[in-house]
Every structure is written in structure tokens, then in C-alpha cells.
Structure 1
Amino acid sequence: MYNLTMLDANGDPEFMTSLARGLAVLCCFADEQRPMTIAQASRLTGLSRPATRRCLHTFVRLGYVAQAGANYTLRPKVMALGYAYLSSSTLAMRAQPLLDQLRDELHESCSLGVSEEDEVYYVARAEVSRIMSISLRVGSRLPLYCTSMGRVLLSGQSKESQRTYLRRTKLVALTPHTQIEPGNLLALFDHVANEGYAIVDQELEIGLRSIAVPVEGPDGIVAAVNIGVQAARITMAELRSRYLPPLRKIAAELRVLVANARP
């Protein structure tokens, strides 16, 4: 959730507060995934209702938001903002056909994620039709500490960076299996770094297992690739024996791409 009260501009004279307010309002639609009122957007962003109203009025005038009575919804024009990143990200574009092939081969959903603002951002995804309470797509965000891609991304950070992340993060037990003890999580990050992959067993959602591997660049881990499976169908041993090798193959192909990418 993007709450502007959490942002500290540190007296930066170049910082555009009005732009930050507008982006905060726009982002709250993604968090809620439903029509919003001025009052709801004001509560989510920490902005006053008059400021929120002006932001929404501006987005309506620009064609990014539609108004129906007291409710506001996003318009298709908003997709251009996300597409600008996807169309310029060589890694996401090259990963998509590889993920599609892996999905067709294993009949499981697979994703590419990067770390941004203490979350995993999904930048490419190939999905099969499964029933899950968590709906994932390109642009989805999940916590780092309890996801396989998140733990891979954290494993590439320094020990101090990991500790700092754990101190500033609210560690919530999303299921009875979720690991939230900082010392145990630090040990898990070490294990992932040593083994070169992470497995999360029903810590994000009951019935869901996932396995992820790092995509490395010249300066360390730049992304992670994962496969998510239903725990009732796929054992932990199968994740390692059947799913880990093709994941590592994709990661190796993407590593070559990153290494050869132009500055």
C-alpha cells in the first residue's frame, strides 16, 4: 500500500509533492482492486479528502480514471504506464517465451520477479488454470520473506541488508507454516544462497508450494524465476528432481542475456 504519510522528502527542493500525491492515489487502486470513493482513497493514501478529490479530478480529465457517481475506476489508458516498463525491459520480454515454454512442458504456472520496495514484483508470468485464493499476474506484488522468489532475492543481499529489511518489515504469519522468526529467516537466506534455490511450502497460502532460482547479473542477483504447484499433487522431492533442472536452465539463459545486454 502506498501511503504518502510514510514518505520523507527530506526537504528536497526538486521533489514534486503534487506528483507524489497523484501517484499515491493511482497506486491505491491496484492495492484494492475495486472501485474507490474519495473517502476510501483518502484513507489508504493518508491524504486529505480535498487533495484526493483534486488528484482524482485530474486523472478523470486526463483519461486515466472514470467517475460514476461517488465511485472511481481505472480506465484502460492506465495500462500504457505499465507497458512502458514492460516494453523497455529486455529481461521481461525475453523471459516471457521461456516461461510460456516451461508452462506448456510442466503444466504449471511460472513467473519472473524482481525486488522493489521490499516486495517481489511480478514482471513476467505464464499461468495455467488453477484455483488459488491469491490471484497473480504481471504487476502483482508479494512479500519477500515468505515467497520463494523473495527469499532468492534476499539471499543475494549482504547480511546487514537482510537484517535491516527484517527490522523494518512487519512479519505476518499468513498461514500456520509461515516463518516469521528473524533468526530462522536469516538462516534460511543462508541456506538458499548455499543451495542456489528456495522452496516455500504453504507459507504464503495453504496448498501452495513454490520453488525459485536466481537470475544473476554482473553485480549479483537481478531477478528470480519460480514455479508454483499444488501441494496435494507435487511432493517436495518432485520439486527438486523434476522442476529444479528446467528452472535452472531458464535462469542460465537469462543470465547470458543480462551479461550481453547493452549498458
Structure 2
Amino acid sequence: MTAAPDGQDEGADDSTNSRDYVSSLARGLDVLRVFNSTRRKMTLSEVAAETGNTRAGARRILLTLVREGYAVADGRLFDLTPKVLELGFSVLSSKGTWDIARPFIEHLSEEIRESVSAAILDEYNVVYVSGTQFHRVISVGITVGRRFPAHCTATGRVLLAALPQDQWPAMLDSVPLTRMTDRTVTDREEFRKILEDVRDKGWSLVDQELEIGLMSIAVPVCTFSGDIIGAVNVGIPTLRMTPEGMVNEILPKLQTTVENLSSALRR
């Protein structure tokens, strides 16, 4: 991509309002890409020529990258530093997270003889990214990619509860509390108290709020940096388990599984 001159918004597609297009950011990305494509140190003049920037514009971008630690200057030559890897590391590592998680999920499923799944938060929904179904006459099967409302699922509640405290007011005002069953909590003040309890306990139990006859319990998953990136969930039909059984029998095994998984992610 050739960067647009200062003040112009070329390069945005038809679905993007030109006022939302940050041309200076696009020019900075062009500079990063040109180093990646040439795989060599470059002078200011070379960067300007390769990207279509003016020398003054290229200089400002390069010096900004140097100041932020993403580039170094060696005399007349500029080069990128390994810090640029941070820009994509979180995305790449999260994609591999659930491959790492799968053996832990499968082991827990075999141990408790029930279905186990993992989900991430996408605004006010949860998206299932991994899981295994234990085949019984009556079983809980959730396919990868399936979405459910976060407010009435155990995974959704532990992930909403883990949001930074300053995001809670907006979240509590905006999250749709759609009634899925006659047990679904739809009162916002009650929902806030539930999330506070989930945050304090570190786990969530949902009893037939998504679907009558289904209970689920979930625990959040942390990365090496301590960030919560998803949750592991056990779903069991109510005819096979009571809420007390979920807490006393299933939760300790689920917590141990997630602790072991989180340790593996920190290595």
C-alpha cells in the first residue's frame, strides 16, 4: 500500500467512513511493512522512497518508532527491534491457547464422564473455542463456534465478572438480559450482585437459566501474564446432578484442571 499524503484519507474501503481513517497510522504501518518485506536496514531516503512518504514524514515515523523502542538508528541506517513481535504475539498466542487446552479438557471429560468446553467473550456473547462431548444417552454437546448470551451462561458470567471495574457501569447498563427460561435473571441489580459474587468466588454456577434441564459451572483461564482469556465449563443435565453436587464434586476437579492449564500457559 502506498501511503496517502498528509491530510488525505485514501485507502479506506467503501464501508469505512473517511473521517474514521487515520492516515498517519496507515503511513506508520507502511513503514513497518517495508522493513518486513525488504528484510534489511534502510536509510531515511530509502524508507521514504519505498513507502511514498516525504522525507519529513518518514523521519517523523522512524523517530517515533525509535522512541517507542520498535526501531533503532545506527548512523544513517534504521532497523526494527524484536519488540515489534509484541504487536502480534498476543493474537498468535491466543490462537494456540486452545490447542494447548484441549488435552486438559479431554482429560477432565474422561475423569468426570461429562462434556467439557471452553469459551471466550465476544462483547455480550460467549463463543465456544474448544470442547469435547462425553457420549451418554443424555449428554450436553456444544460445537466449536457456537454462540450463547453471556448473561445466562456460566462461562459468560465469569468472563463478565473479570472485566476491569471501570468497565462495569457501561457493561451493566448495556448487557442484554434476555429471558431465555423462567429462571433467567433479568433484573440488573440482581445481576450486578451475582457478578460481584462470581468475581469474589472465582467461579460461576448457572442452573437452567439458558435452557431448562441444563446446569453448568465455569472457571476462568489465565495466561502467563495473568490475563483472563477465556473460561472452561462443565455442563450436566439436571437429571444427573444437583447444584450441590456441581459445587462439591465437579468444581474441585474443574479448578484443578484450570490451574494445571494456566500453569502450562505460563511456561
Shorter-chain TM-score bucket reads: 0.5 to 0.7
Separation of aligned partners in 2, 1:116 and 1:130: 30
Separation of aligned partners in 2, 1:10 and 1:225: 41
SS in 1 for 2:20: coil
Partner of 1:150: 156
Partner of 1:258: 265
Aligned residue among 198, 213, 222 for 1:207: 213
Q: How does 1:189-228 map to 2 (within 5 A)?
A: 189-217=195-223, 218-228=225-235
Q: How does 1:64-213 map to 2 (within 5 A)?
A: 89-129=95-135, 136-213=142-219
Scaled by the length of structure 2, the TM-score of the pair is: 0.62
Distance 1:246 1:133, change over 3 A: closer
Partner of 1:34: none
Scaled by the length of structure 1, the TM-score of the pair is: 0.63
Distance 1:8 1:194, change over 3 A: farther
2:124·2:151 contact (CA, 8 Å) conserved in 1? no
Separation of aligned partners in 2, 1:112 and 1:207: 20
> Quick one: percent identity of the two aligned structures?
32
Separation of aligned partners in 2, 1:11 and 1:247: 48
1:86·1:93 contact (CA, 8 Å) conserved in 2? no
1:111·1:126 contact (CA, 8 Å) conserved in 2? yes
Which stretch of the first structure deviates more once superposed, 163-172 or 92-101? 163-172
Once superposed, what is the RMSD of the aligned Cα atoms? 2.8
Distance 1:242 1:133, change over 3 A: closer
C-alpha displacement of 1:234 = 0.2
Separation of aligned partners in 2, 1:86 and 1:137: 22
The answer to whether residue 248 in structure 2 is matched with residue 237 in structure 1 is no
Instruction: Give the 4+ runs in structure 1 shifted more than 6 A.
Output: 85-88, 131-134
* Bigger Rg over Cα: 2
Partner of 2:255: 248
Separation of aligned partners in 1, 2:17 and 2:100: 36
SS in 2 for 1:89: helix
Partner of 2:27: none
1:212·1:224 contact (CA, 8 Å) conserved in 2? yes
| Matched AA of 1:226 | N
C-alpha displacement of 1:207 = 0.3
Q: Tell me the matched-pair count.
A: 185
C-alpha displacement of 1:228 = 0.2
The answer to whether residue 20 in structure 2 is matched with residue 12 in structure 1 is yes
SS in 2 for 1:124: strand
| Matched AA of 1:223 | G
Separation of aligned partners in 2, 1:139 and 1:248: 24
Distance 1:9 1:185, change over 3 A: farther
Partner of 1:27: none
1:87·1:93 contact (CA, 8 Å) conserved in 2? no
